[in-house]
Amino acid sequence: MDTYDWLLALHVSGAFLLVGGSVFAGVCNFLAQRTDRPSEIALFFGLVRVSLPLIGVGSLATLILGLWLVHHVDYSWGEFWIWGAILLWLVMGALGGMGGRVQTRARGLAERLAAEGDAPSAELTALARDRRANVSNYGAGLAALLILVLMIWKPGA
Amino acid sequence: MLASVRPHAWDLPLFVHVLGAMILFGGTLAVAAFGWASWHRPQRELLARATFRTLLAVVLPAWIVMRIGAQWTQSKEDISGTPGWIGAGMAVSDAGLVLLLVAVGLAYWAARLRGAGWQPRAVAVLSSLYLVALAVAWWVMSTKP
């Protein structure tokens, strides 16, 4: 294996961790929104935390190794698929962070309510199903999908 | 540098294959996490139902998409014989289906038993093994030794 093979394999591994971790977080988020009981909402939002190291490592690996690959292969930085992917990576991170902050607040409230008798609460249900957070999370997923499209089709290459 | 010289006719099949594989990995990760979490949490019944539904709604459809993409990509590539990296990918894919179907059966059994018994742990072990196999497959398919 030469340097290119190593960089590509690790870049692809980063992408698997990023998208796989996001799918896992998406499943937990979906399940948390299908219940009203605080202990169950806390359980699924708590499991989202397991995916965060994978998403973090995957995000950094895809970006750093991707930039390294561009330099190594001598692609032009002006090619649309390269700067478009970097832009989408930034959008994905920003949207994912916005959605994640609401989930963290919902998890905190759910844990408190679970300890106080586990009775359903309209405030918690509204927070767990927050429309803006959902739009942010699905937007982050869409950005990741578009990055994959750019990486495979390489428009402008 | 295959990626830089790959014909565009391969792009859509490859996209389908890779996207399916990534969702398969994420869904299997969720199944493994639910299985391990049920070991020491009181919400065993909920986790057993979540495991079964995730297998049916995410993991098996993703496996089908991944496998269709693989066959479609292979039909576009003019490769004589079966190189080791394709053989390894096929082996993980096809043996993985058997493992996943066993996991679905055990997850259904666990859901019927409201999460009690050894079945959730067996699903956790099987799905964790499959995660390792998937990681080996994507590494081999990326490096094409």
CB B26 within 8 A of CB B18: no
Q: What is the DSSP letter of B59?
A: I
Residues 6+ apart with CB under 8 A from A19: A58, A144, A148, B22, B23, B25, B26
User: What percent of chain B is predicted at pLDDT more than 90?
Assistant: 69
Q: Which residues of A touch B52 (CB under 8 A)?
A: none
| Residue A90 C-alpha, separation from nearest chain B C-alpha, in angstroms | 21
At B48-100, the pLDDT tens digits run 999 999 999 999 999 999 999 999 998 887 777 778 888 888 889 899 999 99
Q: What is the model's pLDDT at position B4?
A: 52
Q: Which residues of A touch B27 (CB under 8 A)?
A: 23-24, 27
Secondary structure (3-state) at A156? coil
Residues 6+ apart with CB under 8 A from B28: B59, B127, B130, B131, B134
Asked if the Cβ–Cβ distance from A15 to B37 is below 8 Å, we say: no
**Taking Cα atoms as reference points, which of A23, A147, A4 lies closest to residue A65?**
A4
pLDDT at A21 over 90: yes
Asked if the Cβ–Cβ distance from A24 to B29 is below 8 Å, we say: yes
Q: pLDDT grade, residue B1 (50/70/90)?
A: very low
Residues 6+ apart with CB under 8 A from A67: none
Asked if the Cβ–Cβ distance from B143 to A19 is below 8 Å, we say: no
What percent of the residues of chain A are helix, what percent strand, and what percent coil, each to the nearest 5? 85, 0, 15
Q: pLDDT grade, residue B2 (50/70/90)?
A: very low
Q: pLDDT grade, residue B24 (50/70/90)?
A: very high
Asked if the Cβ–Cβ distance from B23 to A19 is below 8 Å, we say: yes
Among the partner residues A22, A73, A148, nearest to B15 by beta-carbon distance:
A148
Secondary structure (3-state) at B80? coil
Asked if the Cβ–Cβ distance from B58 to A23 is below 8 Å, we say: yes
User: What percent of chain A is predicted at pLDDT more than 90?
Assistant: 94
Query: Phi, psi (5° rounding) for residue B39?
Result: -65, -40
Q: What is the model's pLDDT at position A59?
A: 96
User: Which pair of structure tokens corresponds to residue B38?
Assistant: 């049920």
ipTM of the complex model: 0.93
When pLDDT is averaged across residues A103-130 and rounded to a whole number, the result is: 95
Count CB pairs under 8 A between chains A and B.
88
CA-CA distance, B1 to A85, in Å (whole number)?
A: 20
Q: Is the dihedral of CA A64, A68, A71, A73 positive or negative?
A: negative
When pLDDT is averaged across residues A23-37 and rounded to a whole number, the result is: 95
Among the partner residues A1, A39, A44, nearest to B143 by beta-carbon distance:
A1
- In a mutational test of the B interface, the residue from A23, A34, A81, A148 whose CB has the highest number of chain B CBs within 10 Å is A23
Q: Which residues 13-42 of chain B have a CB within 8 Å of chain A? A: 14-15, 18-19, 21-23, 25-27, 29-30, 33-34, 37, 41
> For residues B114-126, b (16+ Cβ closer than 10 Å) or e, as one string?
ebeeebbebbbeb
CB B123 within 8 A of CB B106: yes
